[in-house]
Structure 1
């Protein structure tokens, strides 16, 4: 299916959805972090580590709350530059074919930040800060737009893996479960659009870009995948859960074989897409 057909079909679906997702959630006045699971236990960063067995269930549930705050913060921090980037590209030269769906994309990303932000600020009083550092660089023609949308696909593929599993987890707190469901429903469309756009942009430019540029793109995106995953292991969430050995926990979790397997599984669809299209030339070291 062509990008034009994809954007038309997705625009029609988005146009049918009018109600703001944040208004469909039954928000309790407050939540007790240790009273329920807010992150599925098998998706927590301590799954498979020694901390999974050494911490009691009440502490693990409390940590699951702050892992949810971190996950939602990652989405807020990921969607802020996405919204800025989409705004920048709305009426840019050569983007007319994307314009109908970009408006829906932008609107839906703004709505996502509403429910992620409401959870974080209402129940934890904070959004964890973005720890990614961007360095100024120059781009060859078409490279900046390509990398922008490629990073969107990577970030959203990983997040959607968590969304799908947690939306189906009956043990999760109802608010957390609903947030994951709502996010997945929109992201499924965004990913369909993003994959098709990235593929077409790459096909347009891969014979024009130099070998050096293509190699640089592969290296950059592989590094971005690793950097994205690193933020899931935020020592601040361990401290907020009342755990003093936050950096020890972060280090053990990152190096744990079970966590490596989780990262590979959650990234597998994304990695396969980028390998099959030739955008990356090897698998990331996750």
Structure 2
């Protein structure tokens, strides 16, 4: 993303220009924040008392819907024994919650850096709900992994090169990454919460997470749209907008590829995990599956012009 230089009069503290007082629809944005904050208060639960963790979750049943496995629709899945398929569902479930632990930790760091800073006065009240809820999510995902698998898979996601320092670009990319992460995870949450083949504890975790994420996504979509508008105003250079859109496109790909873990395949008794990962990522059925997972995200980013800018 070379060539991203700051144009415009934002504050020098690196937080970017305020969206609070200059956005044409600030009253609408504030009303949304009020509604979401009220809903967060209404839906509040104590995670430490909400869950009745069973001693164990049987390993002779699915922990992840087979249709959501990274092998679904491929010859790799066809070659698995019934035992391997159950084991893969177990370890991909643990890996999914591990991805959540790492993703939530990263997004919390970025939001904490911006709460009550210039440019984020209006959303800071909702940020407090967001931070508290995401901390709760990280705790119950980590608890599941450690209690039923005795480990959290390490974060192996490819890190894209960070763009040159530019407040408008940085703020937009932080919140678009958060939105992408949340919408991908929510796609899985909805499917897992409704799958009666899964243990009640697994369904409960995913149902609660979706309940909170629906608010976070509504907030994130509006904030990302406002930050993109601010970026387009502050950075009139089309090359900057195109480079930003390219980065977002690569991030979408990176997020989907993070689900394919050689360590998971090894734990499930599938040999040559790296070769299997490469085969799966090249398989047309997996490309179709990725498009389905990302559909709401790509539709939104195209509508507001981010992915159009990339093209």
The whole-number CA distance in structure 1 between the counterparts of 2:100 and 2:234 is 34
Query: Following TM superposition, where does structure 1 have runs of at least 4 consecutive aligned residues deviating by more than 6 angstroms?
Result: none
Equivalent residue, structure 1, for 2:287: 260
Equivalent residue, structure 2, for 1:216: 243
- What's the offset of the Cα at 1:22? 4.9
The whole-number CA distance in structure 2 between the counterparts of 1:95 and 1:282 is 25
Deviates more, 1:96-105 or 1:244-253: 244-253
Stretches of structure 2 that go unaligned for 5 or more consecutive residues are: 1-24
Q: CA contact under 8 A between 1:49 and 1:252: conserved in structure 2? A: no
Instruction: State which structure, 1 or 2, has the greater radius of gyration over its C-alpha atoms.
Output: 2
The whole-number CA distance in structure 2 between the counterparts of 1:22 and 1:238 is 32
Equivalent residue, structure 1, for 2:200: 174
| SS in structure 1 at match of 2:218 | helix
Deviates more, 1:20-29 or 1:51-60: 20-29
The whole-number CA distance in structure 1 between the counterparts of 2:232 and 2:294 is 24
- Provide, for residues 148-200 of structure 1, a one-character-per-residue CA deviation record: whole Å limited to 9, x for no partner: 00011111111111111111110112221111111111111000000000111
Q: Rate the CA distance shift 1:170–1:283 in 2: closer, same or farther, 3 A.
A: farther
Q: Provide the alpha-carbon RMSD of the alignment.
A: 1.7
1:141 has 2:167 as partner: yes
Match among 105, 120, 123 for residue 148 of structure 2? 123
The whole-number CA distance in structure 2 between the counterparts of 1:158 and 1:26 is 27
Stretches of structure 1 that go unaligned for 5 or more consecutive residues are: none
Deviates more, 1:203-212 or 1:119-128: 203-212
Match among 267, 274, 279 for residue 247 of structure 1? 274
Deviates more, 1:254-263 or 1:164-173: 254-263
- Provide, for residues 100-143 of structure 1, a one-character-per-residue CA deviation record: whole Å limited to 9, x for no partner: 10000000000000110001111111111112335454232321
| SS in structure 1 at match of 2:173 | helix
Equivalent residue, structure 1, for 2:101: 76
1:273 has 2:300 as partner: yes
Match among 145, 162, 173 for residue 188 of structure 2? 162
| SS in structure 2 at match of 1:233 | coil
Q: Rate the CA distance shift 1:263–1:134 in 2: closer, same or farther, 3 A.
A: closer
Q: CA contact under 8 A between 1:149 and 1:194: conserved in structure 2? A: yes
Equivalent residue, structure 1, for 2:39: 13
1:225 has 2:252 as partner: yes
Structure 2 length normalisation: TM-score? Answer: 0.87
Q: Report how many residues are paired.
A: 283
Structure 1 length normalisation: TM-score? Answer: 0.94
The whole-number CA distance in structure 1 between the counterparts of 2:221 and 2:30 is 13
- What's the offset of the Cα at 1:95? 1.2
